Structure 1
Amino acid sequence: MKIEKALIIDEPWISKIMRSEKTWEMRSTSAKQRGWIGLVKKGSGHIVGVAKMVGAEGPLSDQKMLDNQDKHHIPPETFLSGKFAKHRHAWIMSSAVRLHRPIPYTHKSGAVIWVTLDQRVSDALAADEAVKALA
Structure 2
Amino acid sequence: MSKLILIVDDEEINREMIGSVLEDFGYTVLKTGDAKTAINMSLEYKEKISVILMDLVMPDNDGFLAIATIKSQRFTKLIPIMALTASTDKESVIKAMNSGADDYLTKPFDPDELIYRVHNLCKISDFIKRWDVIAK
TM-score (norm 1): 0.32
TM-score (norm 2): 0.32
Q: Hey, which of these two has a bigger chunk of helix by percent?
A: 2
Greater RCO (Cα-Cα under 8 Å, separation 6 or more) = 1
Q: Hey, which of these two has a bigger chunk of strand by percent?
A: 1
